Amino acid sequence: MSQSAGSTQDREALQSAARESDAIAVERTLAGERDAFRSLVERHSQQLFRLAYRMTGNEHDAEEVVQEAFLRAYKNLGQFGSRANFGTWAYRIAANYAIDRMRQKRTEEARRQTPSALAEEQEQDPLDLVPDERPTPDRVAGNLELRKKMEEALKELSSSERTAFVMRHWEGCAIEEIAAVLKSTTSAAKNTVFRSVQKLRRALEPYVGARGALQAKAAGAAPEPRGTEL
Q: How far is CA 193 from CA 7, 98, 120, 147, 166, in A?
A: 31, 17, 31, 21, 9
Q: How far is the CB of 99 from another protein (least distance, A)?
A: 18
**Which residue type does 74 have?**
Y
Q: Element (H or E) spanning 203, and its range?
A: helix 186-208
Q: How far is the CB of 219 from another protein (least distance, A)?
A: 4
Q: Site mask, another protein, residues 58-97, x = CB under 8 A?
A: -x---x--xx--xx--xx-xx---xx--------------
Which segments of 31-138 does DSSP mark as H helices, in order? 36-56, 59-75, 86-112, 115-122
Q: How far is the CB of 201 from another protein (least distance, A)?
A: 5
Closer of 29 and 96 to another protein (Cβ): 29
Total number of residues that touch another protein (CB under 8 A)? 70
Using the contact rule CB under 8 A, the part of the chain among 99-107, 115-123, 127-135, 197-205 near another protein is 197-205
What's the maximum distance between 2 C-alpha atoms anywhere in the chain?
Answer: 70
- DSSP-derived letter for residue 54 is H
From candidates 7, 15, 16, 136, binder to another protein by CB under 8 A: 16
Q: How far is the CB of 181 from another protein (least distance, A)?
A: 18
The contacts of residue 48 (CB under 8 Å, 6+ apart) are 65, 66, 69, 70, 90, 91, 94
Closer of 45 and 158 to another protein (Cβ): 45
- DSSP-derived letter for residue 228 is S
Q: Which of residues 133-172 bind another protein (CB under 8 A)?
A: 146-147, 150-151, 169-170
Q: How far is the CB of 125 from another protein (least distance, A)?
A: 22
